[in-house]
Amino acid sequence: MDLVLGFVPERDLVARACAGDRHAFARLYERYAAVVHAVLLARVPSQEAEDLLQEVFAKALVSLPAVRDPGAVGGWLCALARNLASDFHRARKTAALPPEIAGPGDGAEAADALAAIRELPGVYAETLLMRLVEGMTGPEIAETTGMTHGSVRVNLHRGMKLLRRRLGEEEKR
């Protein structure tokens, strides 16, 4: 079956990619790049997220045969991203995320919103970034991360509630 012609189950893509099929690996990248980018964006400066995204998939290409559950490769890729983000901060001896540099009119509001999202608990920040930045639907987030639909809805609801509260507090200052 040609990979271009429709949905291929995750397990089949992983098996094909492990066997050296670069098109299958490209499909995994297409399927999970937005999720991995959101995980990274929740943890590292936005200018670093794209490079680390490429690094996650470079590591995945080498390590894919070691995946225990080929049906849960999305969660495995997210764990790789979290680990690389931790490595990034350890290597730079950074205790906290640096603030985004933006002036009036050049994305300051977006930078403020991103900074506020990053201050939320990790699972809320990741889920919100998948939805708000990457434009994923709730069902897409659930499918690619392995979370239940209910968990995604709860994370989005609670995350937005916390974000509104945080942004409301910043406006009062």
- Is residue 54 located within the same domain as residue 83? yes
Mean pLDDT of 125-130: 92
Helix (H) or strand (E) holding 161: helix 149-172
State how far the Cα of 141 lies from the Cα of 131, in Å rounded to an integer.
8
- Identity of the highest mean pLDDT range in 91-105, 119-133, 157-171: 119-133
Mean residue pLDDT across the chain: 85
What's the number of domains the chain is made of?
2
Residue where one domain finishes, among candidates 83, 98, 113:
98
Find the domain containing 90 and state its range: 1-98
Which pLDDT value is given to residue 133? 87
Residue where one domain finishes, among candidates 98, 119, 146:
98
Asked if the model's pLDDT at residue 99 lies above 70, the reply is no
Which pLDDT value is given to residue 171? 58
- Is residue 9 located within the same domain as residue 30? yes
- Is residue 123 located within the same domain as residue 58? no
Residues 127, 141: contact at Cβ < 8 Å?
Answer: yes
Asked if the model's pLDDT at residue 147 lies above 60, the reply is yes
